[in-house]
């Protein structure tokens, strides 16, 4: 198979080559993807994305590692990127993502409650003075380290820490009201 891939790269017949790779490794890639996302539909979508990525990057495969290793590395990186993405952190799971302990109704209720709490928190953050609002945003929403926030806001590290602490105190007061 490896020799065929390298020969296929030389002839530039990428369509036949990717078909062969999908037939040979498709199920393995799907299973590996599923092990990351634990959702069949999402795993299938990601697997399609991965093969598109492989198709576009086929010219970079040099044969230094096994093709399977190259494909798995692409798959693992793509899955990790997906798990870190905004979509994964913010989209509510439904359908087959249900745990064996929960029901769809409970998930919907949890999502509604979470949404209300998030809206309340965002409203409270927006009432903070800008010097507190910006450190909260940069630290919690952009996930920047304190040192980088200090550079961005042109303040000292201790100032950023103090503003974070003060902002949390103000938020706590406003949310308890």
pLDDT in tens, 9-34: 555 576 787 788 889 889 888 887 88
**Residues of the chain with pLDDT > 70: what percent?**
81
Q: Are residues 59 and 137 in the same domain?
A: no
81/49 Cα distance (integer angstroms): 12
Torsion angle in degrees (nearest 10) through CA of 146, 149, 155, 157 = 10
Residues 63 and 132 in one domain: no
Residue 65 CA to residue 78 CA, distance in Å, equals 19
How far is the C-alpha of 105 from the C-alpha of 94, rounded, in Å? 10
State whether 66 and 100 are in the same domain: no
Other CB atoms within a 10 A radius of the CB of residue 126 amount to: 8
pTM of the model: 0.47
Q: Kindly report, residue by residue over 165-174, the tens digit of the pLDDT.
A: 999 999 899 8
Task: Check residue 85 and report its DSSP letter.
Answer: S
Which of 73, 90, 107 terminates a domain? The answer is: 90
**For residue 17, what are the domain limits?**
2-90
Q: Are residues 41 and 118 in the same domain?
A: no
């Amino acid at each position: 198979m490896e020799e065929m891939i390298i020969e296929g790269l030389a002839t530039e017949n990428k369509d036949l080559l990717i078909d062969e790779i999908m037939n040979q490794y498709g199920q393995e890639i799907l299973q590996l993807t599923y092990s990351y996302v634990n959702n069949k539909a999402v795993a299938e979508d990601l697997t399609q994305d991965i093969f598109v990525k492989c198709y576009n990057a086929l010219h970079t495969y040099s044969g230094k590692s096994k093709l399977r290793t190259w494909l798995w590395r692409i798959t693992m990186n793509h899955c990790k990127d997906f798990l870190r993405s905004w979509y994964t952190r913010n989209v509510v799971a439904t359908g087959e993502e249900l745990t064996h302990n929960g029901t769809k109704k409970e998930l919907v209720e949890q999502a509604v409650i979470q949404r209300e709490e998030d809206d309340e928190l965002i409203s409270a953050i927006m009432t903070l003075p800008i010097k507190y609002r910006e450190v909260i945003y940069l630290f919690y929403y952009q996930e920047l380290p304190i040192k980088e926030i200090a550079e961005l806001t042109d303040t000292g590290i201790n100032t950023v820490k103090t503003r974070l602490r003060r902002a949390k105190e103000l938020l706590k007061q406003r949310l308890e009201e």
